[in-house]
Amino acid sequence: MATLYRCSTPTDWLCPCGRVARALRRDRIDVEIVRVSQRRARRPEVEALSGQQRVPLLVLDSEVICDSRRIVEHLRFRAGSGPRQASTVR
């Protein structure tokens, strides 16, 4: 089971936290959602896990991953599709 610490935005389309939530659903990963305060100073649980106060923050298999892009790339790697390759225009 994974734990996603995310902002209190009620939708999955307006913020990076929603991007991570969509990726977790896509990969069918059971996740506990913890909504944290909009005020960074009131995120002691996030700071205790990562040393910083930003969300999204994913705890997956005792690994703490910050930043929505890094989280989504990690999920792709776990799923076996690896990171996206940049396309080259010729």
Indicate whether 23 belongs to any domain: yes
- Containing domain of residue 73, as a range? 2-79
pLDDT band at 84 (very low <50, low <70, confident <90, very high): low
Dump pLDDT digits (tens) for 59-71: 999 999 999 999 9
Indicate whether 85 belongs to any domain: no
pTM above 0.95, yes or no: no
Indicate whether 86 belongs to any domain: no
Pairing between β-strand 2-6 and β-strand 31-35 as defined by DSSP bridges? parallel
The confidence score (pLDDT) of residue 87 equals: 47
Could you tell me the CATH number of the domain that includes residue 35? 3.40.30.10
Indicate whether 52 belongs to any domain: yes
Dump pLDDT digits (tens) for 18-54: 999 999 999 999 999 999 998 878 899 999 999 999 9
What's the total number of domains in the chain? 1
Question: Are residues 59 and 49 in contact, defined by beta-carbon separation less than 8 angstroms?
Answer: yes
